[in-house]
A and B are shown apart, each in its own frame.
Chain A
């Protein structure tokens, strides 16, 4: 088991390294002087000079990368000229809302999508299946922000059921926290539900065509047992995989959703940083999101061992 984990970790290192290189290059490939860009539009010549020596911009590009990655490994993502704080601190401050939003979204999505997908596969070709497939295409096609505005308009403005915008920290009371989070999470979960439901349906459908399902039916098992213990259990790996891959979609969605609902999270930070051309923050946030994505998929990789005994340590 330990060598398995080590091997998997070893496999993620090159990916993380390449992510780091790409994020590093984004700035170097930008037209103009990286030091001037990093310092921001309002910086003085001294500030720019200080940054230049700090990053070793007078040295070869490889050495520059070395300095930069050294800083990153120590948790130093540079300083935001717009917010005048360390980027790492900034990310720490903005983490809670994003984490809360994503967690609730994933919970909603999995709880809704998996049963729907199984049901559609079971009634393959029937009205339920066709309706779900139709709705899932729609779910893929309606942009997050359009959906967000529709929901705000109907639920908040017309019916007045939930707050329109904003975020309440979990420390300020769980109920208000949840009330503010429901609408954004539902908005964000739609595309995710569409994705997971489709994959669940497809992989359960594939499992249902396998010989062992015929065996299970020949054993005279109740249909629900056949569906859950035999079909779904065998479809688990692709479903969990797509939950992991979908995190990328989710992060994209977070950026938009947080902007529309005015949630002060990392997504909002990203947009603000881009609008302010605050490059240290852009770099830091992208690096953070990507590492989180790789980490989650690494954990999902590990979970395969429990889901499928054929996958060896």
Chain B
């Protein structure tokens, strides 16, 4: 049923291809993305040049997407960058979702906690997501772990709110009231009746968080406040291309296309999942 939806097929297919690219990066004609060669600076896409490996040996290499001002292979950096982006997207979604679910269930079921927790989440939500991420990374300094946490934190209130509103709606359903009358303990109602009916919207939400996180990571790296510049991420490649954009637009063009395509694939997948899993939400947004 899910696979009958074209959005799911297209988005999922594109995403699967990207995952394959990420896994197979070393065998796709790439070189070590950190390698550089002073002789191969600022090559245009398709030009041949040479590159020196860690042992100091020089070899011929065709720079499919050109090279940057250090003489690094943009193609290799873009391909390896797929790994970072997908990893960040998936980890952020999982982190935000797991913490958000716990908070949402707690808030929906424990009345005494609800007011306090939701005010806290309101406050967190009042700070624009990118600013939270920027501030946190600035404080902790960039590494994969800090970037993931920094991007996931501002997403937590959204998941919490979603779960809470679902819990509050579902617990009013007659079948939940019937379960109360049947003497089903609260814990069983929560995990047996309420959570299973939340899963569809949560899966959809997860894909959107994943897409947004990939974008934010690229933005952070692009602004120079994300992962350290030697790590090959799309944002970093583009950041290095900024200064010479007028003359060598390829440094921004290729990673930009990959980034947009990845986010697009995840978003399309999300829309498709929403249409099939959660028709009620599909009408709403």
Contact = CB atoms under 8 A, between A and B. Distances in A.
A and B touch in the complex (CB under 8 A): yes
Interface in A97-153: 133, 137-138, 140-146, 149-150, 152-153
B245 interface: yes
Contacts of A145: 219, 222, 238
Contacts of A140: 211, 263, 267
A72 interface: no
A57 interface: no
A149 B259 CA distance: 14
Contacts of A198: 285
A279 B139 CA distance: 9
B263 A141 contact: yes
A73 B120 CA distance: 21
Interface in B208-244: 211, 215-216, 218-219, 222-225, 238
Contacts of B183: none
Mostly, the A contact residues are helix
Interface in B27-71: none
B284 interface: yes
B112 to A, nearest CB: 16
B85 to A, nearest CB: 11
Interface residues of A, number: 55
Interface of A: 14-19, 21-23, 26-27, 29-31, 133, 137-138, 140-146, 149-150, 152-153, 157, 198-199, 202, 205-206, 247-249, 251-252, 255-256, 259, 270-271, 274-275, 277, 279, 282, 285-286, 289-290, 293-294
20 contacts: A18-B123, A19-B123, A22-B127, A30-B139, A30-B140, A138-B264, A140-B267, A141-B215, A143-B215, A146-B256, A146-B259, A206-B283, A251-B131, A252-B131, A255-B131, A255-B223, A256-B130, A256-B219, A274-B135, A289-B128
Interface of B: 119-120, 122-131, 134-136, 138-140, 211, 215-216, 218-219, 222-225, 238, 245-246, 249, 252-253, 256, 259-260, 263-264, 267-268, 271, 283-285
Closest 9 CB pairs of A and B: A18-B123, A252-B130, A146-B256, A141-B264, A141-B263, A251-B128, A248-B128, A30-B139, A274-B138
